[in-house]
Homo-oligomer: A and B are copies of this chain.
């Protein structure tokens, strides 16, 4: 997919060109080959860990990679599989939010990422910001996969409330802009389950609902625990 050469057409820039056939071994272009190092990883070896500094970008040359996130009780969500030709490790922040591990013995090309961020910024601050924004959305999407793939209804609601509180908090209370059906479709639940779970959290004194769209977070600790965040 990404051959590390300058794309010639808009279609290629858009990532739609250069049909890839057999991807068992992806080509290492001169350009990046010079900048990076080739490393081999054994099956199940960690390529980078969650919360480790995100100083490099990675390209799969052969083998396969998974990125995954663990909950404190061991539940795991794999965010993506990367196969030969795929580039991964792009992060909007300073650290990786997922761990990356080799699924099979794999050869990986590793390059410093700072050069790209700096290049993007030097030439166009706006491009740098848009790229960063894209990486942020990617991160949020991958976080949300953990919610959809591995969390129960109560945990989903807790995560949702904390997300909303963080993003639009009016100090203490959250004013939800969306109806229950939208929350349900976001969290992969039914409207009834959303309603029941909110009611239960209110009965337990974790939240208060002066109105159906207005939610007061009463017990942050419990919400954090349900969200699997006690440290972070």
Contact = CB atoms under 8 A, between A and B. Distances in A.
A127 B123 contact: yes
A93 to B, nearest CB: 6
B168 A16 contact: no
Interface residues of A, number: 77
A136 B168 CA distance: 28
A142 interface: yes
A3 to B, nearest CB: 8
B78 A182 contact: yes
Contact of A6 (B14, B94, B125, B141): B125
14 contacts: A4-B126, A6-B121, A6-B126, A15-B129, A16-B94, A32-B126, A80-B140, A81-B178, A83-B168, A90-B137, A122-B123, A134-B135, A145-B145, A149-B188
Interface of A: 1-2, 4-7, 10-11, 13-16, 22-24, 31-32, 57, 63-64, 66, 68, 76-81, 83, 87-88, 90, 92-94, 103-104, 116-117, 119-138, 140-142, 144-145, 148-150, 167-168, 170, 177-178, 182, 185-188
